[in-house]
Amino acid sequence: MVGCTLEFDVLEPSEIALQIAVAGPSRETLQVTGADGPIESVEVDRQHVVRAPAGPLTVTYQATVPPRTAVRPVTDLDRIVALRPSRYCPSDRLGGFAAGEFGTEPNVPTIAAWVFQRLFYQGGSSGPSTDAVDTMLSGAGVCRDYAHLVVTLCRASSIPARVAAVYAPGLSPMDFHLVAEAVVDGRWTVWDATRLAPRPTLIRIATGRDAADTALASTLSGSVILNQTEIFAIAGGDLPLDDHQSPVSLAH
C-alpha cells in the first residue's frame, strides 16, 4: 500500500499538475479538500490537474497495488527519446569521458556500480538546477542526482536511458524516490545507484527523461506553495534482498 498527503497554500486561483498516482492498475482513492469554492480535478495521462481557489489545499492519495510483472517492451520511439540529452542529463557533453571510462563495450551494471562508488549520499548537497555534470564533479547528491548521472552516462555510451519516479518500500527516511531505467538485452531494466531500496518492490509513478518530467507538483498557472509532504510505501510481506547488480525490470 502506498500513498501521500500534500498540503499546499494556494496564494491565488491556481492550476497544479500532480504526479503522485501509481502508473498501472490499482485500487486507489484521491481526495482533494480546500477552501470554499469549486475545486476541479481532472486526470491526464495519470497526472491530476487540480484547479483550486486561494486558500489551503490538501491532497490525499492512497493505492493498493496488486502484484504485477507486465513490463512494456522497448519501442523504437522509446529508444529515440531515451537517447536524447535532457535538462539534467546533458549526455551530449560527455561522450568522450564516457568512452574513456567505460570503453568500447559499455554496460549498464558497470555504469551503475561506478556511480554508486563515486557518489556520496548527502541531503542538501544539490538543488533544483543541479545537473548530472555538477553531480559527477562534486561527488555528492541525493537520489535524483544518482539517477541523473546513471542516465547521462548510459546515453553518452549510446544506451537508451530514462528515469522513473517511484514509491519505494524500505527507503529510509521515506520519500519520493527517483531511479534510472536503461535498456539491457533489449529490455527496460531499473537501477538504483543509491542502493537504498530493493528494486523488486518499487512501484512506478511516472516515467520521463529526467526529474523535469516527474515533478511531484508543478504550478501551471497561479501561485502555490507546497508546505508539507507525507509519504508512505509498504510492501506486502518482507522486503526482498537486492544485490543491485543483476538486471531487474520495473512493471508499468
Q: Which residues bind a copy of itself (CB under 8 A)?
A: 17, 42, 44-45, 47, 49, 75-77, 79-80, 83-87, 90, 92-97, 99-100, 117-120, 128-129, 133-134, 136-140, 158, 212-213, 218, 220-221
Residue 131 or 181 with smaller CB distance to a copy of itself = 131
Which among 183, 153, 145 has a CA at the least distance from the CA of 92?
153
CB 131, min distance to a copy of itself, A: 9
CB 237, min distance to a copy of itself, A: 36
CB 231, min distance to a copy of itself, A: 22
Residue 220 or 239 with smaller CB distance to a copy of itself = 220
Residue 2 or 133 with smaller CB distance to a copy of itself = 133
CB 143, min distance to a copy of itself, A: 17
Residue 92 or 230 with smaller CB distance to a copy of itself = 92
Write the DSSP assignment of 183-234 as a string of letters: EETTEEEEE-TT--S-GGG-EEEEEESSGGGS-SEEEEEEEEEEEEEEEEE-
- Whether a cis peptide bond, with omega within 30° of 0, leads into 200 is no
Residue 44 or 241 with smaller CB distance to a copy of itself = 44
Residue 62 or 219 with smaller CB distance to a copy of itself = 219
The grid coordinates listed for 117 are: 562508488
- CA 155 – CA 171 distance, rounded (Å): 27
CB 219, min distance to a copy of itself, A: 8
The grid coordinates listed for 213 are: 518530467
Count the alpha carbons within 13 Å of 64 in the hemisphere toward its beta carbon. Answer: 2
Write the DSSP assignment of 110-157 as a string of letters: HHHHHHHHH-EE-TTS--TT--HHHHHHH-EE-HHHHHHHHHHHHHHT
Which among 64, 59, 76, 30 has a CA at the least distance from the CA of 183?
76
CB 96, min distance to a copy of itself, A: 2
- CA 91 – CA 100 distance, rounded (Å): 14
